[in-house]
């Protein structure tokens, strides 16, 4: 089995590193519109060779789309036009718009919409790591629209990566992702900008920054070229959650304004129950 990975960033690069060990895999082929990424991926031993999109598709059995979600939306119909029996999976952070784009395509059954719930704030082939994915959830969406054979191959890949598989509709996925991933990024971006604004008046503002600050703004290092398309495609869900988050922040603000410290303690105690979820 030959695997073509389109996009050799954090996710595609890490999959390249790991899937080399999947029983039955002969060649890992890379496609990346950035030549520098291709060279890094070859030098780093992530892929056996780099090819043009059409050549890479013609010689492979499985195609993994690991590019920003706007690029997935644009390229997926073209790929479905030219595949024959190849299975295509994407790993994008949004699912509904992508699934809608190809819902009536004659080759829809060859495509599996998925999202491995792993990532870091780093990007590019140099961020690729064998420590990726294991222990996290991989979501497969709208599985009734994919062929049994295609689902079987994608399940095999995620299980080999050490992930457990969760099935849901693409709409459910996008709502859940807004809550547990997309809004975290906005709060990090906004917190970074809050402190950076202050720094304009006060050069030494970061002198005291410690681990707590770092973990809260870590995601603010994430790139616009990946995240703007996510916010475009999941705009309404993200807006809903953002409105709720601002409401929750306003509850804290009211406690401070009104010096209602009993209610403040209650809000914090409620937040503490998140322990149940986190390790």
**CB of residue 216 to a second copy, shortest distance in Å:** 4
- Nearest CA to 80 out of 90, 70, 92, 69 is that of 90
d(CA 105, CA 126): 36
Q: What's the order of all strands across the beta sheet hosting 27-31?
A: 49-50, 27-31, 2-6, 62-65, 87-90, 111-116, 137-141, 164-168
Give the HSE-up count for residue 54: Cα atoms under 13 Å, Cβ half-sphere: 3
Q: Is 168 exposed, middle or buried (0-12, 13-18, 19+ CB in 10 A)?
A: middle
**Residue among 80 and 175 whose Cβ is closer to a second copy:** 175
**Residue among 35 and 273 whose Cβ is closer to a second copy:** 273
**CB of residue 254 to a second copy, shortest distance in Å:** 10
| Beta-strand relationship, 164-168 and 111-116 | unpaired
- The DSSP call for residue 257 is H
**Residue among 149 and 271 whose Cβ is closer to a second copy:** 271
**Residue among 144 and 277 whose Cβ is closer to a second copy:** 277
**Residue among 25 and 232 whose Cβ is closer to a second copy:** 232
**CB of residue 217 to a second copy, shortest distance in Å:** 6
**CB of residue 84 to a second copy, shortest distance in Å:** 33
* Residue 9 structure tokens: 């960033």
**CB of residue 24 to a second copy, shortest distance in Å:** 28
């Amino acid at each position: 089995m030959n695997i073509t990975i389109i996009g050799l960033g954090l996710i595609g690069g890490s999959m390249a590193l790991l899937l080399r060990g999947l029983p039955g895999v002969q060649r890992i082929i890379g496609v990346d519109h950035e030549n520098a990424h291709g060279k890094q991926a070859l030098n780093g031993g992530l892929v056996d060779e780099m090819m043009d999109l059409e050549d890479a598709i013609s010689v492979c059995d499985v195609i993994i789309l690991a590019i920003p979600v706007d690029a997935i939306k644009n390229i997926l119909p073209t790929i479905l036009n030219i595949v024959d029996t190849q299975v295509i999976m994407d790993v994008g952070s949004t699912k509904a718009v992508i699934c809608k784009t190809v819902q009536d395509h004659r080759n829809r059954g060859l495509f599996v919409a998925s999202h491995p719930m792993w990532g870091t704030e780093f990007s590019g082939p140099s961020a690729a790591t064998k420590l990726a994915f294991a222990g996290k959830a991989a979501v497969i969406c709208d599985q009734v629209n994919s062929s049994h054979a295609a689902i079987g191959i994608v399940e095999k890949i995620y299980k080999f990566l050490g992930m457990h598989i969760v099935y849901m509709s693409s709409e459910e996925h996008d709502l859940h992702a807004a809550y547990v991933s997309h809004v975290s990024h906005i709060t990090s971006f906004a917190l970074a900008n809050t402190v950076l604004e202050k720094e304009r008046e006060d050069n030494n503002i970061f002198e005291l920054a410690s681990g707590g600050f770092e973990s809260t703004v870590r995601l603010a290092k994430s790139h616009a070229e990946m995240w703007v398309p996510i916010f475009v495609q999941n705009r309404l869900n993200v807006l809903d959650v953002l409105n709720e988050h601002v409401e929750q922040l306003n509850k804290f603000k009211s406690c401070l304004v009104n010096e209602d410290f009993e209610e403040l303690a209650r809000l914090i105690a409620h937040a503490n129950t998140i322990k149940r979820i986190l390790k």
